[in-house]
Structure formats: structure tokens, C-alpha cells
């Protein structure tokens, strides 16, 4: 007796749960996997997932000082005292930082002076009069002082000259992706594409207004301003999050291209262009390749925002 007449469904070998597609024919199933409907459903789900990630990260921000809270109740409590304490805290902090800096300088000068005297006395007692030894000693002490002075110069430059720089979170909110950016990514790949968007936005700002500076291009050491203060991004947590945020913005902007090319699914040339754009905008899923791409992007950015160039110019 026919199974359909009994109201029973035939058990199928191949299933696509996402599209509710069933078939006993393997060739028919593989044909379905290559259809535009199947691929478009998968892209929509990826973009929706990115939307949820983006919203989850946003949290609740104080529009006065930029602090972020996980819950709205925490933000409400903070706002009651934010306007009363903000100015006073900044003044006290600046005075304290200046005092600490002066104290550190004096301590270092005293230690260098004592070290120089002690070493020269020891050399005299041992009867060593080799002038080269003195020169080597002086160079070692000078190098120690130079390292300290370099760190102090970076901190002074950031806290004095770059005190009005944007917070990184604000920079990322204002960052925009254009159709030209998508075209550039399609032609040059993920690393060059993200680097292009990041650097173009940074180069649109004065050096003293930028929220990120690189102090060492070889070791990829970055200083980032967030929550109204400068800090060293030792673990690269913030800059890696920035790269991910720009990636998400770029993927979302593909929708604008689709609106301008509504017939792309029926036009083979446009469909090939769309595939290339999607592939290069998303980057790699493999963890090792993702880390490698991020490192290459950071090297590109670091060469553009190297802080030593600004210190030399100043």
C-alpha cells in the first residue's frame, strides 16, 4: 500500500535542518547545498549572531565620563554622583601623578650618583686605571637613564599633549565603512582591508587626538586611551577587540551593497563579486590564521601611529 495514502512520511537519508530540505538522492542533496537559498540563509544567521554579540558588548555608558556598566541600575547609581566627583578626581589625580614623577626623577638621580661614586672608589682600591673601564661604566649608567627618560617622555607626551584625545570606544562608534572600503577588501584581502579602514580613520585625526599610539613597532607595544585615561595594552585585548568590531561593521555593510545591486543573485558577474566580498570581509575561522591576521594588521597600524615620530617632531 502507498505510504503517502496512509498519511506516513517516507524516511529520507539526507537532511538540511537549516532549510528544512529532505531527499533520498545524494546528488539532489549536494545540489541543494550549492543553491543560493542555502548559502543566503547561512549568511543571514551569521550576521544575526554578530548583531547579538555586538549588542551584548555595548552595555550601558555614562555620557559624562564614558564609564561602562553591565546593568542599567549600576549606571543610574553612578550618574547620581558623577557630576559631583568628576572634576575633583581629575585635579587630585594630576597633582598626584606630577608629584610621583618628580619623586621618581630625584630617586633615580640619587641612585645613579651613588652608583657612579661607589664603582669609581672600588676601581681605585683595586688599582685599575684603565680609561676604557670608566667609559664602559658611564655608558651603562647613561643607558639606564635613557630607558627611564624614554618611558617618562612617552607618558608626558600622552598625558600632557594627548589629554584631549578620543577614547577608543568613541572612536570605534564613529568609525564608518564605505562601499569603496568593501571593494578594497575584496581586491586586497582581509588584512589589507581592515588595516585600510583602521588607518584611514586614524589618519583623519591629528596625532594628539588619536586614541592609540605604538611605542615599539618590533614588539608591537600599544598605548590606548579608554575611560578617559591612557594605559599600555599589554595583552592586546583592546586592540584585538577593535579589529573584531571593524570586521563586524564591514560584514554588516555588505547589506548596503546588496541594496544597490538587488539583482545580484540573478547576475552571474555580480554574484561572483558578492562571493569574493563576503569571503574577504569575514577573514579566517581557523584560530591560528586569525591570530596571524591580527598580528599583520597590528604591524600595519603600528607603522602608521609610531609615537617616536611624534616625540621627534615635538
As a whole number, mean pLDDT of residues 143-147 equals: 47
Among candidate residues 309, 294, 300, 165, the one with its CA nearest the CA of residue 231: 165
List, as one string, the DSSP characters of 214-239: EEETTTTEEEEEETTEEEE-TT-HHH
d(CA 211, CA 226): 8
> Domain residues of the chain, as ranges?
101-161, 168-313
**CB under 8 Å to 25, separation ≥6 — which residues?**
14
- Whether the per-residue pLDDT at 240 is higher than 90: the answer is yes
Residue tagged 618590533 (cell numbers): 218
Q: Over 70: is that where the pLDDT of 86 sits? A: no
pLDDT reported for residue 298: 95
Residue 255 banded pLDDT, cuts 50, 70, 90: very high
**Of 113-127, 213-227, 295-309, highest mean pLDDT:** 213-227
The mean per-residue pLDDT over the stretch 171-183 comes to 95
What pLDDT score does 63 carry? 56
Residues 105-140 pLDDT 10s: 666 666 666 666 665 666 566 655 555 544 554 554
Q: Is the pTM of this model over 0.75?
A: no
Q: Is the pLDDT of residue 54 over 80?
A: no
Q: Of 111-120, 179-188, 218-227, where does mean pLDDT reach its minimum? A: 111-120
Nearest to 141 by CA among 179, 188, 108, 180: 108
Task: State the CB neighbour count (10 A cutoff) for residue 113.
Answer: 11
User: Is the predicted pLDDT of residue 144 greater than 60, yes or no?
Assistant: no
Q: Which of 204, 218, 133 is nearest to 174 (CA)?
A: 204
Q: Which of 87-96, 156-165, 253-262, 267-276 has the lowest mean pLDDT?
A: 87-96
CB distance 64 to 83 below 8 Å: yes
Torsion sign (Cα): 238, 243, 246, 248? negative
Which residues are CB-contacts of 196 (< 8 A; sequence separation ≥ 6)? 181, 184, 185, 188
Q: By C-alpha distance, which of 205, 204, 210, 200 is closest to 230?
A: 210
Terminal Cα distance for the chain, rounded: 91
3 band by pLDDT with thresholds 50, 70 and 90: very low
- pLDDT, residue 253, reads 93
Please check whether residue 137 is in contact with residue 122, taking contact to mean a CB–CB distance below 8 angstroms.
no
203 — alpha (psi -120 to 50), left (phi > 0) or beta?
alpha
Q: Please answer whether residues 105 and 155 qualify as being in contact, where contact means their C-beta atoms are separated by less than 8 angstroms.
A: no
Amino acid at each position: 500500500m502507498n505510504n503517502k495514502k496512509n498519511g506516513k512520511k517516507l524516511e529520507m537519508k539526507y537532511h538540511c535542518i537549516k532549510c528544512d530540505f529532505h531527499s533520498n538522492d545524494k546528488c539532489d542533496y549536494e545540489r541543494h547545498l550549492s543553491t543560493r537559498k542555502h548559502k543566503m540563509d547561512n549568511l543571514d544567521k551569521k550576521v544575526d549572531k554578530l548583531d547579538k554579540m555586538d549588542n551584548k558588548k555595548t552595555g550601558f555608558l555614562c555620557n559624562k565620563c564614558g564609564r561602562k556598566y553591565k546593568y542599567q541600575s549600576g549606571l543610574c547609581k553612578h550618574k547620581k554622583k558623577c557630576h559631583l566627583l568628576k572634576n575633583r578626581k581629575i585635579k587630585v589625580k594630576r597633582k598626584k601623578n606630577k608629584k610621583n614623577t618628580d619623586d621618581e626623577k630625584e630617586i633615580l638621580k640619587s641612585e645613579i650618583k651613588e652608583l657612579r661614586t661607589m664603582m669609581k672608589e672600588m676601581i681605585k682600591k683595586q688599582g685599575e686605571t684603565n680609561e676604557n673601564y670608566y667609559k664602559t661604566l658611564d655608558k651603562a649608567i647613561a643607558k639606564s637613564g635613557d630607558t627611564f627618560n624614554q618611558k617618562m617622555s612617552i607618558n608626558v607626551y600622552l598625558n600632557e599633549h594627548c589629554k584631549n584625545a578620543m577614547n577608543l570606544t568613541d572612536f570605534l562608534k564613529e568609525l564608518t565603512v564605505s562601499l569603496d572600503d568593501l571593494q578594497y577588501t575584496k581586491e586586497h584581502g582581509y588584512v589589507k582591508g581592515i588595516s585600510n579602514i583602521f588607518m584611514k580613520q586614524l589618519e583623519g585625526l591629528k596625532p594628539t587626538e588619536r586614541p592609540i599610539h605604538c611605542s615599539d613597532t618590533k614588539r608591537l607595544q600599544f598605548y590606548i586611551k579608554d575611560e578617559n585615561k591612557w594605559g599600555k595594552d599589554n595583552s592586546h585585548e583592546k586592540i584585538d577587540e577593535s579589529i573584531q568590531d571593524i570586521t563586524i561593521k564591514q560584514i554588516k555593510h555588505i547589506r548596503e551593497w546588496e541594496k544597490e545591486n538587488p539583482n545580484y543573485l540573478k547576475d552571474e558577474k555580480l554574484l561572483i563579486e558578492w562571493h569574493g566580498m563576503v569571503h574577504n570581509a569575514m577573514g579566517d575561522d581557523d584560530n591560528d590564521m586569525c591570530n596571524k591576521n591580527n598580528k599583520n594588521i597590528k604591524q600595519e597600524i603600528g607603522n602608521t601611529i609610531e609615537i617616536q615620530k611624534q616625540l621627534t617632531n615635538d
